Structure 1
Amino acid sequence: MSEDLVLVTGGSGFVATHCIDQLLRAGYKVRTTVRSLTREPDVRSMLKAVGAPRLEALTFAATDLGADKGWAEAAAGCRYVLHVASPFPPRAPKHEDELIIPAREGALRVLRAARDSGVERVVMTSSFAAVGYGHKPRTAIFTEADWTDLTGSGVAAYPKSKTIAERAAWEFIAREGGALELTVVNPVGIFGPVLGADYAPSILIVKRLLDGAVPACPRLSFGVVDVRDVADIHLRAMTHPAAKGERFLALAGGALSLIQVARILKEHMGVAGRRVPTGEMPDWIVRFLAHFVSDMKMIAPEVGKQKNISNEKARSILGWTPRSNEEAIIATAESLQRLGLLKK
């Protein structure tokens, strides 16, 4: 059991809450950042609901990715930092800088504070969005050596923000990081048990299918990973000597299509799955609706694209063994049902 202090940014968020839970279970002391200390009771309530132990070892700091205030104090005395917080909107922003600037500047604020406080290693949550977008259709497998091509067509604001923020982080480490180490985790779509009303936008995919908000499934395919495994890979990357200076793609297995997700929900959710659509939406309808509906605008460039992604690096170096795609999807649906977050 370690008495080391770990800073987790964005403590009220979906991934961060699971990271805190696993850190407490592993015996660490945890400090987490929230925009306002009024969120502390919510975070403690979510952790209590999931059975997190040693909640007395958790403290809170009020900070914002958009301002310098409070970051030096938040990082003080910490051996490790998990920089999980980053903006992810449910809809396309009016201007891409609404995402890009806070993602990049927030990452640099955290890294500066970590370096100045003598932190040993920062594990930063990036995304597959920084790896596999803007490329021409390809059958070659995406690995950690790949980067999203910002000059490619149809790269939306979110992939841009993740790519620019991660590149800025690596450049900071190379130029002025000093002894600070950086490791980056690049998850695909994050699913799994929801603990409260704050959850990853990917969860909305399952919620909308179950609520009957999607009349038919666009021909989308995406990687899936359970949030519990995302937290696990963060903890492994935090301490493993071979993780220094590395990126790790986090995904359970092969990509799932939206219609496959719908079939899993139909098969396993009984009455709760009665509204799930069983047909696919033609590509031309998605592209047409993209002119009027912001949600469709975000997904239209990805319709019909297949992406092959490998998790071999995380498995071989970190000994990471994620849950299956199906288990992650079912856990998502069951938790939404349990918390009363589905349409009646």
Structure 2
Amino acid sequence: MSKDLALVTGGNGHLANNLIRLLVSKNQNVRTTVRDINNTAPFKGLDCEVVQANLLNKATLRKACKDVTHIYAVAANFSMWAKDPKTEIYDNNLKGTQNLFDSAKACGVKNIVYVSSVAALDFNTLPANVDNGYNTDRRNWYYNSKNDSDKLALALGETYNIRTVLILPSAMIGSQAHKLSYSNNLVYQILKGEIPVDTNVTLNWVDVKDVAFGAYQAMLKGKDQERYILSNPTHTTLQDSVNIAAKLYPELQLKTPKKVPKCLLYTVAGLMEFSSKLTGKEPLLQRHYLDMFYGLKQDYDIRKSKEELDFNPKPSKQALEEALRYLKTDWKVQ
């Protein structure tokens, strides 16, 4: 047994929980953080230490980092909408990053694999890659938070002399979920026939277990101050995604979503945004979301991850089929 102690933040999240399972299978000593210490179901049968901590509470983070040799910084606020997005999404993600690195520095942690996102890539040239810099579109507070916390993590790593390797996953889907992630929920909506129209927004599906392996490899082999995309090379359209589900489960009689003009989608989005102000619930469609993603092909250059991390994800169609099977057969509404 290694004397090293790995800390995985946000252990009940989709990626973090799969990563913990991988690390435990490699006979690593693992500690993980949760905000609710009574939420024990995700760790049943797992040989890992579970502690209470919150990224916005530096005292709890300091305790969690004690005796830790390396950190997988997975926990973050992944929300595309909030009543006060600047505070609830942007400020929280930046403050959480600062607090984690401050705590790591205080406790002598030497290595951090920081989970960023493909949201922090420049899509002006496709396929997007890490050499083209950061996303120049500043219309979404979640995207802004991933861009700026990505930069902050690299800057703090350099300042604090902590080896810092960044991974940038795309839409993670698949098994071993204890709550529906944003991406798994979209797959679940496809299964339930809740995709009536094609918004001309593409997805880049990747199996969460492949991302967990990429994170593990990043800790072992990733270069300090480098960023690695963990995705598939090419996108899948919403129509194709529904058609894959329809072919897999013909008895569901899923219908291919119809394409509608952007102007009509824009009108509907405006009405949904107005309604959300009254209900306080996230609108299913937002105008700035259409502005950012309508027609955008989410294709990525993953050669660097393949060469330096031995990252070789299963094809997106296979990842989607396996996620569909899992969510139809094994997922229980929590």
Question: By the TM > 0.5 criterion, same fold?
Answer: yes
Letter in 2 for 1:268: L
Sort the Cα spacing of 1:84 and 1:308 in 2 relative to 1 into closer, same or farther, 3 A.
same
Equivalenced residue count is 321
* Alignment match of 1:237 (pick from 218, 227, 231): 218
Q: Distance in 2 between matches of 1:147 and 1:93?
A: 30
* Alignment match of 1:339 (pick from 325, 330, 333): 330
- Name the residue aligned to 1:228: 209
Q: Does residue 131 of structure 1 match 2:131?
A: no
Q: Does residue 166 of structure 1 match 2:146?
A: no
Instruction: Give the C-alpha shift of residue 222 in structure 1.
Output: 2.5
- Name the residue aligned to 1:143: 129
Q: Does residue 63 of structure 1 match 2:53?
A: yes
Sort the Cα spacing of 1:341 and 1:219 in 2 relative to 1 into closer, same or farther, 3 A.
farther
Letter in 2 for 1:316: E
* SS of match in other structure, 1:60: strand
Q: Does residue 201 of structure 1 match 2:190?
A: no
Sort the Cα spacing of 1:182 and 1:201 in 2 relative to 1 into closer, same or farther, 3 A.
same
Q: How does 1:1-344 map to 2 (within 5 A)?
A: 2-39=2-39, 41-45=40-44, 48=45, 55-56=46-47, 58-89=48-79, 91-132=81-122, 135=124, 138=125, 140-150=126-136, 152=137, 155-174=139-158, 176-178=159-161, 180-196=162-178, 198-240=179-221, 242-271=222-251, 273-293=252-272, 294-297=283-286, 299-301=289-291, 302-341=293-332
Contact 1:100 1:160 (C-alpha < 8 Å) held by counterparts: yes
- Name the residue aligned to 1:51: none
Q: Distance in 1 between matches of 2:170 and 2:93?
A: 18
Letter in 2 for 1:65: L
- Name the residue aligned to 2:277: none
Q: Deviations over 1:219-277 (max 9, x none)?
A: 1112221100110000000111x522210001123111111111111111333x42353
Instruction: Give the C-alpha shift of residue 216 in structure 1.
Output: 1.9
Q: Please, what is the CA RMSD of the aligned residues?
A: 1.9
Letter in 1 for 2:60: G
Contact 1:5 1:77 (C-alpha < 8 Å) held by counterparts: yes
Q: Deviations over 1:88-141 (max 9, x none)?
A: 1264543333101111111111112112222221001100001135x4xx4x42
Sort the Cα spacing of 1:220 and 1:341 in 2 relative to 1 into closer, same or farther, 3 A.
farther
Q: Deviations over 1:52-94 (max 9, x none)?
A: xxx23x0011111111121112111112100000001264543
Give the unaligned 5+ runs of structure 1. Answer: 49-54
Q: Distance in 2 between matches of 1:287 and 1:147?
A: 30
Letter in 2 for 1:286: L
Instruction: Give the C-alpha shift of residue 340 in structure 1.
Output: 4.5
Instruction: Give the C-alpha shift of residue 194 in structure 1.
Output: 4.4
Sort the Cα spacing of 1:313 and 1:93 in 2 relative to 1 into closer, same or farther, 3 A.
farther
Q: Distance in 2 between matches of 1:285 and 1:128?
A: 28
Q: Deviations over 1:298-340 (max 9, x none)?
A: 6312111224311110001111111110121112111111234
TM-score normalised by structure 1 residue count: 0.87
Q: Distance in 1 between matches of 2:328 and 2:312?
A: 27
Q: Percent identity of the aligned residues?
A: 21
Sort the Cα spacing of 1:65 and 1:94 in 2 relative to 1 into closer, same or farther, 3 A.
same
Contact 1:187 1:251 (C-alpha < 8 Å) held by counterparts: yes
Sort the Cα spacing of 1:71 and 1:212 in 2 relative to 1 into closer, same or farther, 3 A.
same
